[in-house]
């Protein structure tokens, strides 16, 4: 393929990747920023979202768009509630101790993964695209649905930014993130905020899952790679920074897309991980992270 179209294709692939990655990473970043815990089970919430999307859409016959829209409504709620429940049952009892929660979320990771395996089986589950249109771009074809994924992710990110910066709920989250003790002194129910944030983080990842399943199929082992990439994004972008997370997701997503296409996907992963090392050495708080005093 000629260089121009090659680059166009790689960029488009990279954008799709970046769109979904920014949603997953945003969920992880939100949980870390507000609760100061590392959620190792985050990728499994994403996987759970993907498998439940298949499950929900398998109930709906006829136009695949109906099942997809239903999943878009229901799946984030189910996954969010699962996360709320696991916070209520486990994490809150650990007093959100950073080390203990890492171990606990590793446990949650295995519980969710094995639950998915035992309930839905080991096979990859295909979900039909809500609309099956192939755009012929002369040199190559590209699914119109992939543009829809990019578009939806942008809308969703804008909505999250609006909520965070313009609403009272956003203010409460930001206050808790900035200084949870002072926030509590001002009457903010910290434990409820934590509970909601943990659910919200998982729900945002689940939206990413609903969007990606018609492209990638749901499988019980699919949570590992997005978790790794989300960590990379969050570290590069600066923990807890919305702007940084999105910028880093685009950087990692695009470079993953372009390097994968031109060289190999393994080199893309190696370079992304190297970038983390460089960022940690030069700017330990991430590109957009603020230094804590």
Interaction site with other proteins (CB under 8 A): 1, 6, 9-10, 13, 117, 121-124, 126, 128-129, 132, 134, 136, 140-143, 215-217, 219, 221-222, 225, 257, 260-261, 265-266
DSSP result, the chain = --HHHHHHHHHHHHHHHHHHHHHHHHHHHHHHHHH----TTHHHHHHHHHHHHHHHHHH--S-HHHHHHHHHHHHHHHHHHHHHHHHHHTGGGGTT-HHHHHHHHHHHHHHHHHHHHHHH-SS-B----SS--EEE-SSSEEEHHHHHHHHHHHHHHHHHHHHHHHSHHHHHHHHHHH-HHHHHHTT--HHHHHHHHHHHHHHHHHHHHHHHHHHH-B-TTTTHHHHHHHHHHHHHH-TT-HHHHHHHHHHHHHHHHHHHHHS-HHHHHHHHHHHHHHHHHH-TT-SSPPPP-
In angstroms, what CA-CA distances link 61 with 125, 128, 245? 16, 11, 38
Q: Which is nearer to other proteins, 88 or 148 (CB)?
A: 148
Closest distance between other proteins and the C-beta of residue 26, in Å?
21
Closest distance between other proteins and the C-beta of residue 268, in Å?
9
Q: Which is nearer to other proteins, 257 or 289 (CB)?
A: 257
Closest distance between other proteins and the C-beta of residue 128, in Å?
6
Q: Which is nearer to other proteins, 97 or 123 (CB)?
A: 123
Closest distance between other proteins and the C-beta of residue 5, in Å?
8
Nearest one of 240, 233, 273 to 18, comparing CA atoms: 233
φ and ψ at residue 146, rounded to 5 degrees: -65, -35
Closest distance between other proteins and the C-beta of residue 47, in Å?
11
Q: Which is nearer to other proteins, 104 or 212 (CB)?
A: 212
Q: Which is nearer to other proteins, 184 or 217 (CB)?
A: 217
Nearest one of 253, 216, 208 to 232, comparing CA atoms: 253
Closest distance between other proteins and the C-beta of residue 134, in Å?
6
Closest distance between other proteins and the C-beta of residue 192, in Å?
37
Q: Which is nearer to other proteins, 10 or 234 (CB)?
A: 10
Query: Residue 57 in contact with residue 65, Cβ under 8 Å?
Result: no
Q: Which is nearer to other proteins, 99 or 123 (CB)?
A: 123
Q: Which is nearer to other proteins, 50 or 279 (CB)?
A: 50
Closest distance between other proteins and the C-beta of residue 115, in Å?
13
């Amino acid at each position: 393929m000629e260089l121009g179209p090659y680059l166009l294709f790689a960029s488009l692939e990279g954008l799709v990747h970046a769109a979904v990655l920014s949603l997953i990473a945003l969920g992880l970043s939100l949980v870390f920023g507000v609760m100061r815990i590392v959620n190792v089970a985050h990728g499994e919430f994403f996987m759970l979202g993907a498998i439940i999307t298949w499950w929900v859409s398998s109930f709906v016959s006829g136009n695949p768009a109906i099942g997809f829209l239903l999943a878009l409504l229901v799946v984030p709620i189910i996954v969010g509630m699962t996360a709320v429940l696991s916070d209520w049952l486990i994490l809150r009892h650990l007093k959100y101790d950073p080390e203990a929660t890492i171990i606990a979320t590793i446990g949650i990771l295995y519980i969710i993964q094995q639950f998915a395996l035992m309930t839905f089986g080991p096979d990859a589950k295909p979900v039909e695209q809500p609309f099956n249109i192939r755009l012929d771009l002369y040199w190559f074809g590209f699914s119109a649905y992939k543009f829809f994924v990019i578009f939806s992710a942008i809308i969703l990110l804008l909505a999250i930014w609006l909520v965070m910066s313009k609403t009272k709920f956003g203010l409460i989250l930001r206050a808790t993130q900035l200084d949870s003790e002072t926030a509590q002194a001002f009457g903010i129910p910290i434990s409820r905020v934590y509970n909601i944030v943990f659910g919200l983080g998982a729900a945002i990842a689940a939206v990413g899952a609903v969007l990606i399943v018609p492209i990638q199929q749901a499988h019980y082992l699919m949570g590992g790679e997005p978790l790794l990439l989300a960590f990379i994004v969050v570290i590069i972008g600066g923990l807890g920074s919305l702007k940084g997370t999105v910028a880093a997701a685009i950087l990692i997503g695009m470079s993953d897309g372009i390097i994968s296409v031109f060289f190999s996907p393994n080199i893309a992963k190696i370079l992304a991980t190297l970038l983390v090392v460089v960022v940690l050495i030069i700017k330990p708080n991430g590109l957009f992270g603020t230094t804590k005093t």
